[in-house]
Chains A and B, each alone.
Chain A
Amino acid sequence: GENVEQHPSTLSVQEGDSAVIKCTYSDSASNYFPWYKQELGKGPQLIIDIRSNVGEKKDQRIAVTLNKTAKHFSLHITETQPEDSAVYFCAARPLGGGATNKLIFGTGTLLAVQP
């Protein structure tokens, strides 16, 4: 089945610096890749997503890139702010196995932005 690996597990940056989180997936038929931000005691919140027919997508300080050949996708946060501190999860949606749109999540990255 689909497997998603995420690195690094923890990331500490200074306010204003950029942060990059990388994920790889195993199922080449996966076609949808969302990124979620999870704050303590809350459910995951979608921050950006990308579909397999697109190589890059940007929304203000957040961007995602997808390399289908290498089966890699990355989250880039520029000009980080303390409120960006949270756990970030990547996910992939495999195509096989029927009608479900289930997501396979990575293990998460704890981002700490130091003021």
Chain B
Amino acid sequence: GAGVSQSPRYKVAKRGQDVALRCDPISGHVSLFWYQQALGQGPEFLTYFQNEAQLDKSGLPSDRFFAERPEGSVSTLKIQRTQQEDSAVYLCASSLGAVGVKGDTQYFGPGTRLTVL
């Protein structure tokens, strides 16, 4: 079946531009996560949604980062006034449930590589 999809796969932005990154989770998955992966590093947690509720945004690096999931399915990560340090791969993951075994396995999308010039 279809996995997690993300678009665009690559995005080049000039410093100061706003960008929007889209995530389509696996159909029916309750939980959705955004992670940031810098070159040569492991993914770092940004934010978590359970259905449409954003329950944890502790990893968002600044108020320039904003995420939403208005209908509990597709999610968008928006970065305002991009800076060079925002250059990274942004990964989206989803899991079937919120707690217990169904909440354990996170399935990752291919990521969006953002380059800020």
Which residue numbers of A lie inside 8 Å of B, CB to CB? 4, 6, 32, 34, 36, 41-46, 49, 51, 89, 91, 93, 97-108
Contacts and interface: CB of A to CB of B under 8 A. Distances in A.
B25 interface: no
B106 A34 contact: yes
Interface of B: 4, 31, 33, 40-45, 48, 50, 55-56, 58-59, 91, 93, 95, 98-99, 103-111
A103 B95 contact: no
Nearest to A44: B108
Contacts of B41: 107-108
A105 B56 contact: no
Contacts, number: 71
15 contacts: A43-B108, A43-B109, A43-B111, A44-B91, A44-B108, A45-B108, A91-B42, A93-B104, A97-B56, A99-B55, A100-B55, A101-B33, A101-B99, A103-B106, A108-B40
A102 B48 contact: yes
B82 to A, nearest CB: 22
B108 A102 contact: no
**A46, A100, A107: residue with the most chain B Cβ atoms closer than 10 Å:** A100
